Amino acid sequence: MQTQIFIFGIVGIWLFLLTLGFFVLISFFRRIGKGAKDLDLRTILDKIIKRQDESIEAIGQVNQEIAKLNQDGVFHIQKIGLVRFNPFKETGGDHSFSLAIMDGDGTGVILTGLHTRERTRLYVKAVKNGKSEFELSKEEELALKKVLKN
């Protein structure tokens, strides 16, 4: 009698495990077949593979756009250096300035504004690869050094 109960217990546990596995398998197929009208496994897997291929293609396009943005970003303003100074030691304050604006390659301009009582003059000097064709004042050189140091 006890052996029969033992055998029924083993068979019951086995049936429980099979039923549990069956429900797990059914829920898995329902999850991967979500949105599919027909639950043909081949159709569902084909749709999943198609979506994966589309995703891979979209990721490739995004990577190309990122590379393009990184390449274009070198030519945008990336570095700014500002030096305020008083060109006339006996009068006024630090109202004059030298402003260096550069891209990633060290190409840009240096703007210098000299403020006097009567007017403000603005001078622009081009810079290419961190060097100017024109002679720079000490304030302009300091602004350029600030930019190139960053």
**What's the pTM?**
0.58
Higher-pLDDT residue of 131 and 59 is: 59
Residues 29 and 91 in one domain: no
Residues 129 and 96 in one domain: yes
When divided into structural domains, the chain yields a total of 2
Residue environment code for 7-36, b if the CB has 16+ CB neighbours within 10 A, otherwise e? eeeeeeeeeeeeeeeeeeeeeeeeeebeee
Structure tokens at 98: 């030298």
Using DSSP, state whether 49 is helix, strand or coil. helix
* H-only helix segments in the chain: 2-32, 41-73, 138-149
Domain boundary among 73, 93, 125: 73
pLDDT of the residue at 38: 66
Residues 20 and 39 in one domain: yes
User: Within its chain, how far is the Cα of 29 from the centroid?
Assistant: 37
What's the average model confidence in pLDDT over 14-19?
Answer: 96
Q: Answer yes or no: is pLDDT of 62 > 80.
A: yes
Residue environment code for 47-64, b if the CB has 16+ CB neighbours within 10 A, otherwise e? eeeeeeeeeeeeeeeeee
Domain boundary among 30, 49, 73: 73
Residues 23 and 40 in one domain: yes
Residues 45 and 63 in one domain: yes
What's the average model confidence in pLDDT over 23-46?
Answer: 79
Rounded Cα distance between 144 and 150, Å, is 10
Using DSSP, state whether 143 is helix, strand or coil. helix
Residues 64 and 122 in one domain: no
What's the average model confidence in pLDDT over 70-81?
Answer: 87
What's the average model confidence in pLDDT over 54-68?
Answer: 96
Domain boundary among 73, 93, 124: 73
Higher-pLDDT residue of 89 and 68 is: 68
Residues of the domain holding 40? 2-73
What's the average model confidence in pLDDT over 117-136?
Answer: 90
What's the average model confidence in pLDDT over 109-126?
Answer: 91
pLDDT of the residue at 144: 92
pLDDT of the residue at 39: 64
| Mean confidence (pLDDT) of the chain | 89
User: Within its chain, how far is the Cα of 82 from the centroid?
Assistant: 28
Amino acid at 64: Q
